[in-house]
Amino acid sequence: MSPILHTIVTTVGGILAGLALAGALLWRQHHALDAARYDATHDEITGLPNRRLLLTRLRAALNHYGTFGLVLLDLDGFKTVNDTFGHDTGNVLLAHVGRLLAGLDAAVEIAARLSGDEFALLVRGDRDDVAAVSRAAWHSIGGAPIRLDNGDTIDVHASVGYTLLRLGVSPRQVLAEADQAMYQAKRLGLGVWGHSALTGPPDYGRSRDRHHQH
């Protein structure tokens, strides 16, 4: 090979190697950015969207002309599970519930874990659709006890509350209404309860203010 040709081949080889290295670095940076975005909007234990992403979708739905509802639920006796079996078992239970909620009907726009043992569902549809999803979530959780590695079985039950989204209503009010309905379901032992505007304004004092951060 002539010196000139050798120089050309070496130069081209160096350029290609440099491009390959730059491409690999860009891919790693893009992958790291995607991972950071995912971590910022998803729950580590369940893999579900977190409160931040739920609030983003909730605000968008409130500005949309479609019909939506919000469902809140928490697990009955979850503290007892943590105290009896430990937090690792509690996390297994949360992941179990997360999988059940992620597998619900297509009417569910997003299933999210808000914090602790509390989950939320943003549902597309009218009051009957939202009520049906609420009952489906309650039955799904209650009908799927979890078996531990030591052979113990934990029966899982939830209290579920729901409300409808309306134009002009704030995310804070929607969350408060669903929260109030969930508390009523737990208080009455009914499993599922729907908020009605006829019952009066929601009790903001009892609502979980940690959900209403903007």
The pLDDT of residue 106 is 80
Percent of the chain with pLDDT strictly greater than 90: 57
The pLDDT of residue 4 is 67
The pLDDT of residue 210 is 44
Q: Are 157 and 141 in contact (CB under 8 A)?
A: yes
- Strand-pair category, 108-115 with 192-194: unpaired
pLDDT digits (tens, 9 = 90+) for 119-137: 999 999 999 999 999 999 9
Give backbone dihedrals phi and psi of 49, rounded to 5 degrees, phi first.
Answer: -55, 150
- In the chain, % helix, strand, coil (3-state, to 5) comes to 55, 20, 30
Cα–Cα distances (Å) from 56 to 98, 136, 154, 214, in that order, read: 20, 25, 34, 9
pLDDT digits (tens, 9 = 90+) for 88-110: 999 999 999 999 999 998 899 99
What letter does residue 70 receive in the DSSP assignment? E
- Residue 204 — pLDDT band, cuts 50, 70, 90? very low
Cα–Cα distances (Å) from 197 to 79, 161, 165, 177, 178, in that order, read: 32, 14, 12, 9, 11
Q: In what order do the strands lie in the sheet with 192-194?
A: 108-115, 118-124, 68-75, 158-164, 192-194
The pLDDT of residue 213 is 44
The set of residues, in sequence order, having a beta carbon less than 8 Å from that of 168 and lying 6+ positions away, is: none
By three-state DSSP, how is residue 193 classified?
A: strand
DSSP, residue by residue, 107-176: TEEEEEEEETTEEEEEEES-HHHHHHHHHHHHHHHHT--EE-TTS-EE---EEEEEEE--TT--HHHHHH
